[in-house]
Structure 1
Amino acid sequence: MLLDPVELELARNRLCAVAEEMGAVLAQAGLSPNIKERRDFSCAVFDASGDMVTHAAHIPVHLGSTQLSVRAVLESIAMEAGDVAVVNDPYAGGTHLPDVTVVTPVFLPGSRRPIAYVANRAHHADIGGASPGSMAICEEIHQEGFRIPPLLLCRRWKPIRETLELFLANTRVPSERRGDLAAQIAALETGVARMLEVAQRMGRRRLVLAMRALQEYSERMIRSYIRKLPAGRWRARDRLDGDGFDSAPVFIQVAVERRGSSLIVDFGGSSPQTRGPVNANLAVTTSAVFYVVACLAGTDVPANAGMMKPVAIRAPRGTVVNCEFPAAVAGGNVETSQRIVDALLRALAPALPERIPAASAGTMTNLALGGFDSVRGRHFAYYETIAGGAGGGPQRRGASAVQTHMTNTRNTPVEVLESYYPVEVIHYRIRRGSGGKGRHRGGDGIDRAIRLLGQARMTLLADRRATAPYGLAGGQPGRKGIDELVRAGRRQRLPAKTTERLKPGDVIRIRTPGGGGWGRPKRRRC
């Protein structure tokens, strides 16, 4: 039985709509601003083997790795209809501990085996650990928060009380976590209902065939694209500005080689795993490679497991791109992933000069605050990534004040921020002139200052403060980020990775990097 191209495209769009509707439910039902406003989550559909079939346009760093968590669940738990598994373990396909993944099977009526799985991954604003926000500058994963191996969370959609209470007991704001987790489960219920509708419309056999055919199509398209690349091996090296304990640079080194219709992505020569939390596990590194391949392929190619079949990743164990237990990983997901992308794009620039842009901000600039809000009489945990400038490209200038590459979240509106948390936003504006000059300028970063109205503990986890985002083709680098604490009128420059105790009246000012420029700047005639 074969599907014609029209039927296959219809199946693709139906399955994409399932993932998109899951995301709409999750955003609407979520309790925390991080879910409801920032939409820091991802939703996807998987076949019966746990291979990703389709996903919504959510967070890139989640999408290449969620498949590994789904497979870890399948290897550990036999689920029935309405069962929900939960996992956040970075050593079982997770990214970092705040990213909590829930998975459920899709059974057709009368079937004894699932036809598919639906899953979503959401960033919880706190999951315990040494500091509010669970992004502290730690030495090992045990200090970062509550680690969850694959466990059953629900039976027939009813939460298992012991599992839920264990989860909530290890967070600083359990009411908020309960609400966000309930929203994730509701999104799964929607996903199952919509998958059953698709199966009823297409029929079981044709749906199974379509899920397989979409992956095979993506593999063929990627192989065809790879064959068009010039033969060669392209190398690049980039760096992180230390690990939070040591300011020595942490290097990401990559070589990309075309072999026929396959790509070899070799990270040999990258730094050993670090004491601090900038270690990326293989799931994060895989997500970064997946993202770059998807960008090169374009939107005509369905982004699914088939896309990675022609790509071999060589990431030496015990390095910053494939760390070993019990390395701390909070920043590997949010910072090292960005640097892996920067290194990959820089390596590919000579092969694809007409397509590759200069470096974007290269950091998610993670800010986490937490403590007790004496005005509202409750504990709080706030987390946000602050946008920067996009790199200029061969065809256009970079956008300003946007999330780039491995992140795709919105910002928290000022009104929401001030109504939920004991803070006051002093200013929130574009950091003019921070983009690198070039024929096509890099986008500008953000300049943001907030005043604390109570005591809090803050973690800043950022990068590109010592090394600027690079320009390409003669373009100039973007400006580096700057972070300051203003206390009683005195300014103090903050390290890019730090945990601080804040007092009422303290001001945190963050200026994020601009993107690099592309091409030599044109000289203006007087």
Structure 2
Amino acid sequence: MNYQIELLHSLLNDFLVGESSLMTLDGDVLAVRGQMPVTYGTLTTAATTAAKYLKLQEGDIALLNDPYSGGSLLSEMTFVMAVSEDLLWVTRRALDTKVTLVKSVEEEGLRIPPMPLRQKNQVNEMFLTAMQAHPACPPNFVEWLKEQVQDLSLRAQKLIEAIEFTGFTITGELIEDYLGLCKQAATQKISESASGEARVDVVLDSGELLRLNLEIHDGKISVDFSGTSAAKTVSLTESATYGTCFHAISRHYGFTDLANSGSFSILQITKPSGCWLVGKYPAPIYKGMTCGVAALQSAVELALAQIHHKQETSLSSHCALHFDLRSGDKHYLLRLPGGEAAQADRDGSCATLNPFSLEQLERDFPVKVLRVDQRQSIGGKGKFNGGRGLILKLQMREEAEATWLTDLTLHRPRLLKNCSHGDPCEVLVEHGDAAKHLPVLGQQKFAKQDVLTLCSGSGGGYGRSEQ
């Protein structure tokens, strides 16, 4: 790459933190960065939708969380800002998330289509007042939004200053060259590996069938979901489906840091209308954005492993265990991630819990924490073991309620002969002398002295054990 292209790539990496993207008003995606798979499809859709309907001018900021306009979960706010005459910055920031098992996206919370949050350097107080009056509006939402507007403005100004400091202009020719090189790099990485095709079926516990046909030829990848069933209770948006597929593929080949219009062009997806991967309003989205995404990740990874026999890997536990504890008007979402898969040359990484205060949890809720540790895995064994999941054990000090959601692919897909499945997520309740496993998702009250054991999934193992 020449100096200007290297400078542009470095500038994008420095500026884009968290779930974010930078693109032109003409629709060219310069870069997407983020940890969440759906980010790679939804952010650009959000920007395109907002720019189409709101005609953003420099300094204007649009807000949305509507999944059918490029959002993800309703608790995650997407901001689209015109940082200059021809550049759009899209970033996503999360609020307090709640587990919702309902029949409509409108029941999941406050749904916000693209709306003008700031215009001509003025925050749109009329829209803020209207949102605040909505019964599903999160607490302190307006104050939080105003804080985000200030932060976005400061960071956008730093981007403009960084561009001016470098002394170069982001021209159409520079963008074209940069996107072309990214496409060439992605194509080369794919071409260096094997070509071929594979088919994978994944059945969700909720009844949906995911049928994936993946073909690799001449450095390009086509994914065909013909045969995938309609939604029953799990639904995913079209942009989230694309983002998840691209994220899984780019991670496999190692070009996630080149995610833009150039590398996007190597992937073609065919989705039959009416299938659960092309959800339509008002279908609920929470299960799709969690369990549905995890199933799709697993299917893509398994198809790639079938084609690239020298790069075989087992399956990671992509779906975290979500346990939403409620007492009175308070709630706390416990999120236990799963372990990673073993590979042909190493063990998988064990899951780690994001830091949180056990003392605060016990103060705010009628629970006593008995154990927090890595679970002792039964599955995922082999020459190289899958990473272990987590175990959290709680005892109820008073009656409380919880809503939970775990992996919806307990009907495990067929693996390659060298691989084994890890342990699934589990929720166990002990009431007196009786103990029972709870279903993969549900909501119920728990009595005083009940003991709950929450286990996230472990990664799959690789190879035959030598013991």
Alignment partner of 2:54 out of 73, 77, 81 = 77
Give me the whole-angstrom Cα distance separating, in 2, the residues matched to 1:300 and 1:272.
Answer: 30
Give me the whole-angstrom Cα distance separating, in 2, the residues matched to 1:291 and 1:186.
Answer: 31
Please give the secondary structure, in 2, of the residue aligned with 1:357.
Answer: coil
More moved, 117-126 vs 177-186: 177-186
Query: What residue in structure 2 maps to residue 140 of structure 1?
Result: 104
Alignment partner of 1:96 out of 73, 83, 105 = 73
Query: What residue in structure 1 maps to residue 463 of structure 2?
Result: 519
Amino acid at match of 1:288: T
When residues 471 and 414 of structure 1 are mapped into structure 2, their CA distance, relative to the original with a 3 A threshold, is farther
Query: What residue in structure 2 maps to residue 302 of structure 1?
Result: 258
When residues 349 and 174 of structure 1 are mapped into structure 2, their CA distance, relative to the original with a 3 A threshold, is closer
Query: What residue in structure 1 maps to residue 92 of structure 2?
Result: 121
Contact kept in structure 2, 1:454 and 1:503, CA below 8 Å: yes
Please give the secondary structure, in 2, of the residue aligned with 1:94.
Answer: coil
Alignment partner of 2:212 out of 250, 254, 262 = 254
Aligned ranges 1:174-213 → 2 under 5 Å: 174-178=138-142, 180-203=144-167, 205-206=169-170, 209-213=173-177
1:44 aligns with 2:21: yes
Amino acid at match of 2:337: A
Q: Deviations over 1:73-105 (max 9, x none)?
A: 011102233322111111112223222211110
Give me the whole-angstrom Cα distance separating, in 2, the residues matched to 1:91 and 1:300.
Answer: 25
Give me the whole-angstrom Cα distance separating, in 2, the residues matched to 1:456 and 1:154.
Answer: 41
Amino acid at match of 2:373: R
Amino acid at match of 2:10: N
The offset of 1:9, in angstroms, is: 1.9
Give me the whole-angstrom Cα distance separating, in 1, the residues matched to 2:280 and 2:373.
Answer: 40
Query: What residue in structure 2 maps to residue 27 of structure 1?
Result: none
Give me the whole-angstrom Cα distance separating, in 2, the residues matched to 1:168 and 1:452.
Answer: 34
Contact kept in structure 2, 1:50 and 1:74, CA below 8 Å: no
Aligned ranges 1:218-297 → 2 under 5 Å: 218-242=182-206, 249-274=207-232, 276=233, 278-297=234-253
When residues 494 and 158 of structure 1 are mapped into structure 2, their CA distance, relative to the original with a 3 A threshold, is farther
Amino acid at match of 2:221: L
The offset of 1:422, in angstroms, is: 5.7
Give me the whole-angstrom Cα distance separating, in 2, the residues matched to 1:390 and 1:187.
Answer: 35
Please give the secondary structure, in 2, of the residue aligned with 1:382.
Answer: strand
Give me the whole-angstrom Cα distance separating, in 2, the residues matched to 1:86 and 1:453.
Answer: 41
Give structure 2 stretches of 5+ with no counterpart.
none
Contact kept in structure 2, 1:82 and 1:105, CA below 8 Å: yes
Query: What residue in structure 1 maps to residue 391 of structure 2?
Result: 447
The offset of 1:451, in angstroms, is: 4.1
Contact kept in structure 2, 1:452 and 1:507, CA below 8 Å: yes
The offset of 1:202, in angstroms, is: 3.6
Please give the secondary structure, in 1, of the residue aligned with 2:311.
Answer: coil
More moved, 47-56 vs 89-98: 47-56
Contact kept in structure 1, 2:428 and 2:452, CA below 8 Å: yes
When residues 60 and 191 of structure 1 are mapped into structure 2, their CA distance, relative to the original with a 3 A threshold, is farther
User: Number of matched residues?
Assistant: 467
Amino acid at match of 2:342: G
Q: Deviations over 1:387-406 (max 9, x none)?
A: 11111111211111159xxx
Query: What residue in structure 1 maps to residue 426 of structure 2?
Result: 482
The offset of 1:182, in angstroms, is: 3.9
Aligned ranges 1:314-333 → 2 under 5 Å: 314-333=270-289
Q: Deviations over 1:58-86 (max 9, x none)?
A: 32332332111111101110223332211
Query: What residue in structure 2 maps to residue 382 of structure 1?
Result: 332
Please give the secondary structure, in 1, of the residue aligned with 2:295.
Answer: helix
Amino acid at match of 2:57: E
Give me the whole-angstrom Cα distance separating, in 2, the residues matched to 1:187 and 1:171.
Answer: 27
The TM-score normalised by the length of structure 1 is 0.81
More moved, 278-287 vs 411-420: 411-420
Amino acid at match of 2:129: E
Contact kept in structure 1, 2:317 and 2:457, CA below 8 Å: yes
When residues 186 and 423 of structure 1 are mapped into structure 2, their CA distance, relative to the original with a 3 A threshold, is farther
1:501 aligns with 2:434: no
Alignment partner of 2:403 out of 431, 450, 459 = 459
Give me the whole-angstrom Cα distance separating, in 1, the residues matched to 2:35 and 2:256.
Answer: 17
More moved, 493-502 vs 411-420: 411-420
The offset of 1:420, in angstroms, is: 6.0
Contact kept in structure 2, 1:469 and 1:514, CA below 8 Å: no
Aligned ranges 1:407-426 → 2 under 5 Å: 410-415=354-359, 417-418=361-362, 423-426=367-370
Give me the whole-angstrom Cα distance separating, in 2, the residues matched to 1:213 and 1:417.
Answer: 52
Contact kept in structure 1, 2:420 and 2:461, CA below 8 Å: yes
Q: Deviations over 1:274-311 (max 9, x none)?
A: 1x2x2111122111111122113315852223221121
Identity %: 22
1:350 aligns with 2:303: no
Q: Deviations over 1:479-513 (max 9, x none)?
A: 22210234566534221111223456554321111
The offset of 1:423, in angstroms, is: 4.5
Give me the whole-angstrom Cα distance separating, in 2, the residues matched to 1:455 and 1:49.
Answer: 56
Amino acid at match of 2:53: S
Amino acid at match of 1:331: K
Give me the whole-angstrom Cα distance separating, in 2, the residues matched to 1:418 and 1:349.
Answer: 44
The offset of 1:119, in angstroms, is: 1.9
Amino acid at match of 1:351: I
Q: Deviations over 1:189-247 (max 9, x none)?
A: 233112211321245633655444332222112222333443422111122222xxxxx
Please give the secondary structure, in 2, of the residue aligned with 1:369.
Answer: strand
Give me the whole-angstrom Cα distance separating, in 1, the residues matched to 2:89 and 2:429.
Answer: 44
Give me the whole-angstrom Cα distance separating, in 2, the residues matched to 1:60 and 1:271.
Answer: 22
